[in-house]
Amino acid sequence: MPTTDDMQATDRYPHVMALVREQPWAILPAKLAVITDLLRFRAEGGRLTAEQIADRIGAAAERPNPARAGAVAVIPVYGTIVQRVDLFTEMSGGTSTERLSATFAQAVADPSVGSILLRIDSPGGGVYGVAEVADQIFKARGKKPIVAVADSMAASAAYWIASAADEIVVTPGGEVGSIGVFAAHEDISRHLDAEGVGVTLISAGKYKVEGSPFEPLGEEARAAMQSRVNDYYSLFVRAVAKGRGVSVDDVRGGFGEGRVVGAQQAVKFGMADRVDTYDATVARLARGGARPSGQRADGDAPGLSDDSRRRRARYRR
């Protein structure tokens, strides 16, 4: 017999599925496909253990907590990024921008914290809340050194957040990038037809049911979705350009163009400042080895091209 918790979780799944359908995403497409399939499985009554969920989506079974390494505040940014703590983040072992914002603010305000390290291992997530937390991090430059380490992935929304830090470090086997935004429309009309189910939508407002999953996506609806995606992509690109001290054109045409890139290539392109391990980065920060807040690592980033140095010197803010 289903428990009260089971029934409450089932009731919440339509809202979670609506979240997936309705917002644009800055995430690796394959990862969102896995998460969507998992949500559908749960919505249909399937049950998996926390370990099975973690195995399917490649996330930690338990979300790591913020930690301290001497005067270094280590803030984890793991798993799928969404705006609020809810069933989605609990199930995916992900990070909410709301929680990340609060934790970061505490670290900035704490006089015993000498530097802040964002330890990132994330494929990205939804766009909601990401611009706000990235702007919060960028505005904290100058108060204390802020370093983001991709250990081992900072993709899409996670890279958006990382780009706001003073410095980006990539572990030797790590990857960064996937700068892009997309939205997905799910047309289930043929499935419903095969099941003998007909859906009639009663609405008011010209575009109220535009993009409904119960019918194919029309051209007008597609254009509206594309415009929304373009707006978020522009916001993403401008934030990365500002954070990395380069031009918008450099980001659009030279930062992977939607692909993730490996550690050495990321430094060469100017997407990251150095290749190093997480432990070595913590040790460097503990020694006070972080550069002053707001400066790029032009001089000591191994493999950074002369062209990248010139571009970054020109657009540094």
Q: Which residue has the tokens 């370093």?
A: 147
Q: How far apart are CA 49 and CA 24, in angstroms?
A: 29
Q: Where are the domains of the chain?
A: 1-317
Percentage of residues in the chain with pLDDT exceeding 90? 54
pLDDT tens digits, residue range 275-307?
999 999 999 999 986 654 333 444 444 334 454
Residues 6 or more apart from 97 whose CB is under 8 A from it?
81, 82, 83, 84, 128, 129, 130, 132, 133
Q: How far apart are CA 295 and CA 289, in angstroms?
A: 13
In the structure encoding, which two tokens stand for residue 148, read together? 């983001």
Cα–Cα–Cα angle for 37, 43, 48, nearest 5°?
70
Percentage of residues in the chain with pLDDT exceeding 70? 75
Q: What topology is assigned to 1-317 in CATH?
A: 2-enoyl-CoA Hydratase; Chain A, domain 1 (3.90.226)
β-strand partners of 72: 69, 115
pLDDT tens digits, residue range 42-90?
766 777 666 666 566 555 545 678 889 899 999 999 989 988 865 556 5
pLDDT of residue 117: 98
The 3-state DSSP class for residue 28 equals coil
DSSP state of 302: T
Tell me the whole-structure pTM to 2 decimals: 0.82
pLDDT at 239 over 80: yes
User: Cα–Cα distances in Å, from 52 out to 13, 47, 55, 78, 92?
Assistant: 19, 10, 5, 17, 11
pLDDT of residue 94: 85
> Cα-flanking dihedrals φ and ψ of residue 261, to 5°?
-130, 155
β-strand partners of 125: 26, 81
Are 156 and 232 within 8 A, CB to CB? no
Which positions are annotated as active-site residues?
156, 208
